[in-house]
Each structure stands twice: as structure tokens, then as C-alpha cells.
Amino acid sequence: MTAPVADSPKKRVCMTVSTFGSKFAATRAEIYLDRLAANVHTLRTHIGPDTELMAVVKADGYGHGAVAVGNAVIAAGASQLAVYTPFEAFYLRKSEVSAPIVILGPIEPKHAHKCVAYDLTPCISSLPLAEALSAEAASAGKEVPFHLEVDTGLTRYGVLPHEVVPLVEAIGRLPHLRREGLFTHFASADEKSTDSVWKQFKIFMKVRRHLEEEQLGFRINHVANSAATLQFPEMHLDLVRCGISLYGYYPSPHVPRTVELQPVMVLGSHLARVRTLPKGVGVSYGHDWRTEKRTAIGLVPFGYADGMPRTVQGKGHVLVRGRRTPIVGRVAMDQFMVDLSGVPDARQGDEVTIIGASGDDELTADEIARWAGTISYDVLSGISQRVPRLYISDGRPVAERLGMTTELTMIEAPA
């Protein structure tokens, strides 16, 4: 597997990581922390010194590993982290991530105790949750900052515009809760037409003004996800929430390439076996694909349980010795097959690049997404925990995360 050098985005200079030797698993995701830091610096320069950068590390840091990514982006200049579920936040705290963490999704009142104990910032959308948090904060002698989402048109989570002032007034009557962030989430910031984005923005700003007129304003107002951050400077406000752009990808083809982003992950495996088959032999489940001539077939131990979408069959490629090699037959849970006709010198043990550069070619999560009929977010976050993560900085491995967690909490049967 190879990766372009972080400080040479225009000239294709590659450095091989095969020199790391056999100590590390041949099938692995390599996370380049220098590139991650470079993306943070690029985005910070783009938004300017008066706007904070919230790094979204939900879904295990979009598949990159939330703990390592969280610590790295804070060190590079992000001011706080964001996750969706409280359990993601609990995991980060248990892993000694000390940065401010905002929980953007729903929280059940029964989890208020841990939210307070771990000094997390909840998103409040109901009075019962606010009451539970207030009671726990009072017991702990703490003040809990909170964010509130205004549903301006995504129709997903949050508080409808006409409900905001009554809820904020009710929360204001509870002790130990402090207004910190007011935000909304755009439905179409990465689409070709931006009319709905401006409509949502205007609704949000109207709600914000109303709150401020009632002396109920929030310290931080934020609306911009990665797509809005990259193309709407008017919407940067006090803070922007960047997710996919941190990891080196643009949200969609419709978002202008206003800044230089570097993909952070290189994903690869190896040829676990090479076998030459005669003409007419079926390959993989169902025998949807058969050899049309005597053909060398390679086995790659990376399947849909690892993150390779089944729908790439007949469309997808990998890189072997710098050459595009088609995926043939059905992708199985643990492996897929490739036609090595175009790589006659391929041998068992050769590196297989799934995402990243090899020779003069490069594959990205965007390309895999096109083959699979999905988006890069889906591809990256779909790389399973059983794939080892190797973290690289200054050209050398600095940390490794091996496979799935071994922690298991037993549940006692009711008496």
C-alpha cells in the first residue's frame, strides 16, 4: 500500500508503507495523522480565526478510529468534538479523551447521570431530559452546558421553530443548566440547488434573533456542516461542524473544491492465494462470473463484513502492482476474487490496495461509492472494527488498534 506524501498534494510523490515489515497485519487500514492535521489546518485557515471548528467523530471517526482521530484533531486546532450517541461519548471518555464532547443525537433521561459524570455537553430537545440533567447536575454540584437543535427543514431531530422559545424558557427555570449552543442541520447543502439551504438559514436566523430579543440567546450559533463550510462563508457564524472534510473528502461533486483536502485513510490487503483456472470455471457464490479463458485468479481476504460493498460486483477494481485489477464474482462475507490477467507477474503475498495509491494510479472512497451506488461516508464508516487500524505520523507507525473490542459486560438474570 502506498500513500501520497502529505506536503506534496500536486506532485504525485508516494512513499511505501510495505517497509514497515511483517510486524503489522497485511489486511489493515492505515490512518495518516499528518494528513488529518493538514486538513484541520486547511479548514481552520478557510474559516478564519473568529470561528471555532467542531470535529465530528461519530461512527468511530467515520471509520478511522474515534479515539486517535479525536486526540489528533484537537491537537491540530479543533476546539471540540461531536458524536451522535451518548455511548460514543462514554467510550471516548473511558478512553481518556478529555476534549469537550457534544452529543448531537437523542439522549434518554436515564443516561443523564453519566452525561453529567463525564462532563459531556448534551443536545436537549425535551423538558424531561432537561429535568433529569438538572437534577443530576445539582447532585454533582456542576453546571451543564447544553445545545439545542432547531428543526428548520430536515424534519429529523430537533425542536420546531415555534417550540424553541417556550422550551428555552422552561429550561431556564431549572438550575445548573447553561445555554451554550443553538444549531440546525441542513438537508441539501451538498446538492446542486442551494435554495433550500438559504431558506433554512433564514429560518434559523429568525429564531436566533427572537431568542436574543427575549434575552435567551446562546453563546455559540452554528449551522454549517462540511458542505456549507466549504461554500457558504456567510454561514460560518461562531462555529462550523466538519465531518467528511476532515477525513479528506468533499461531501459531493456539487460542492466546489475551494480548499485542498487529503484523504487520511489508505486501505489494503494482500493476495492470500493465486490460482490459474481453466476456461469455463465459475468463481465465488452462484457462479455469476466464469472464466472465458485460462485465467489467474487472486483471493483477497477482505469481504463485506470488513467493508467491501457487495454491489461492486462487476464494477469494482483494486490495485495490484500499480495496475487496476477487476473484482470478479460475488463479494463474500470475508473475501473477494480478482482477475489477474492484466498483472501476469502477480504472486501470492502481493499487496492489494483498496483505497490509496499504487504506482501511478489511485483509488478513493468516492470511486468505490460510485461502483456501489452510495456515498463516501457509507464506504468509510462501513469499514468494520475487525480491520486493524495502523496510525502513522512522520512516516512511521505510532499506534495500532487491533480488531474488535474484547470487553464484555455480563447481565444478571432477573430474580
Please name which of 224, 229, 222, 223 lies closest in space to residue 250, comparing C-alpha atoms: 229
Please name which of 272, 278, 292 lies closest in space to residue 352, comparing C-alpha atoms: 272
Q: What is the DSSP secondary structure assignment for residue 164, as one 8-state letter?
A: H
* Cβ atoms 159, 203 nearer than 8 A: no
Q: State whether the Cα torsion 368-54-51-9 is positive or negative.
A: negative
Return the SS3 of 127: helix
Q: What is the CB-side half-sphere exposure of residue 161 using CA atoms within 13 A?
A: 14
Sequential DSSP letters for 226-292: HHHHHH-GGG-TTEEEESGGGGT--S-TTS---S-----EEEEEE-SEEEEE-TT-EESGGG-EE-S
Beta bridge partners of 277: 295
Please name which of 259, 276, 280 lies closest in space to residue 343, comparing C-alpha atoms: 276
H-assigned helices in 118-189 = 127-140, 161-172
Please calculate the CA angle 386-391-396 and round it to the nearest 5 degrees.
135
Marked catalytic residue, from 32, 58, 62, 249: 58
Cα separation, 58 vs 258, whole angstroms: 25
Residues in the chain: 415
> Is 285 designated active site?
yes
Return the SS3 of 177: strand
Rounded to 5 degrees, φ, ψ at 99 are -65, 160
Cα separation, 332 vs 288, whole angstroms: 13
Marked catalytic residue, from 142, 202, 206, 285: 285
> Is 157 designated active site?
no
**Kind plus residue range of the DSSP H or E element containing 24:** none
Sequential DSSP letters for 55-106: EE-HHHHHTT-HHHHHHHHHHHT--EEEESSHHHHHHHHHTT--S-EEE-S-
* Cβ atoms 220, 174 nearer than 8 A: no
Q: Beta strands 295-300 and 273-277: pairing type?
A: antiparallel
Give me the active site residues, please. Answer: 58, 285
